[in-house]
Amino acid sequence: MYDTYIFDLDGTLLDTLDDLAAAVNYALRQHGMPEHTREDVRRFVGNGVRLLMTRAIPDGEDNPLFEATFQTFREYYMEHSLDTTRPYDGIPELLGELRARGKRVAVVSNKFYAATSELCHHFFPDTVEVAIGEHEAEGIRKKPAPDTVKEAFRQLGVDSRNAVYVGDSDVDLQTARNAGLPCISVLWGFRDRAFLEAHGATTFVTTPEEILC
C-alpha cells in the first residue's frame, strides 16, 4: 500500500452528476438558453466548473451572457450541491480504513474551493484531512497542473514519496503524470475504461475495496 492518497472528488469519491446537471440547466433556463441532458453534462465535466459552463453555453465564453449565466450556476450550485450528491458505495468505508491504517488522505478538485470544502466537510469530516478546490492564490494553477497536488502535500506536511493519485478522468491521469505520481483509475465514475485506456490509464479498480489491496 501507499502512504499518501490524493483523491479527485467528482466521479471518484462523490456522485455529483445530478446536482451539477440541475445547476447547469437552471442557469441556462434563467438566461433563455437550451438545456442539456444528463449525459451531455457527464461529457462536459472534469476540467472545472468554468469550462463546464463554457461547454454548456452556446458559443461558450464568447456569449455575451456567459458571465451572468456562470454566476447564476455558481449561486444555484452552492445552495443545491447536497440535494442528491452522495458518496459512491464503499467510499466512506475505504477512507475510514485508510485512516485507521495511518494513511494520509487529501482531496484535490477542479470544483471551486468553497464547494469542495463544503462537500468534504459534510461527507468526510473525519477522514479527508485536506480538501483543495480551484485555488484563488496567485501562482497555483488548477489541474492538470500539479500545483494543487503539491499544495495538498504541503498542507499534509508530507512529500510525494510513496504517494498515489486516484481519479476517474483524463485530467486526473494528466495531473498524476505532471505531479510524478502513479495513478489508479476508478471505473465507477464519469469516464469508462475505453476512454481512460485511450488516455494512457493502466491501473484500474472496479470497487473501492480494491484500492486497499
- Give the model's pLDDT for residue 137: 64
Q: Which of 167, 203, 172 is nearest to 188 (CA)?
A: 167
Summarize the confidence of residues 43-59 as an average pLDDT: 92
**Torsion angles phi and psi, residue 108, rounded to 5:** -130, 120
Helix (H), strand (E) at residue 165? strand 163-167
Segment among 57-66, 139-148, 196-205 with least mean pLDDT: 139-148
For 82-108, write each residue's pLDDT tens digit.
999 999 999 999 999 999 999 999 999
Under 8 Å between Cβ of 188 and 205: no
* Paired sense of beta strands 183-186 and 104-112, if any: unpaired
> Is residue 168 annotated as a catalytic residue, yes or no?
no
CA pair distance 33, 82, nearest whole angstrom: 25
Sequence-separated (6 or more) residues with CB below 8 Å from residue 74? 49, 112
DSSP state, residue 208: G
Cell of residue 101, nine digits: 491504517
3, 8, 147, 168: the active-site residue = 8
Report whether pLDDT(134) > 90: no
- Give pLDDT tens digits for 36-50: 999 999 999 977 889
CA 5 – CA 162 distance, rounded (Å): 9
Pure H helices in the chain:
17-30, 38-44, 49-56, 66-80, 91-100, 113-123, 147-156, 170-179, 193-198
Q: Using alpha carbons, select from 81, 106, 97, 114 the residue that is nearest to residue 156.
A: 106
What Cα–Cα distance (Å) separates residue 153 from each residue in 8, 105, 165, 166? Answer: 14, 10, 12, 15
Q: What pLDDT score does 138 carry?
A: 66
pLDDT over 90 (residue 212): yes
Kindly report the average pLDDT of the chain as a whole number.
Answer: 95
Other CB atoms closer than 10 Å to residue 134's CB: what's the count? 20
CA atoms within 13 A on the CB side of 163: 24
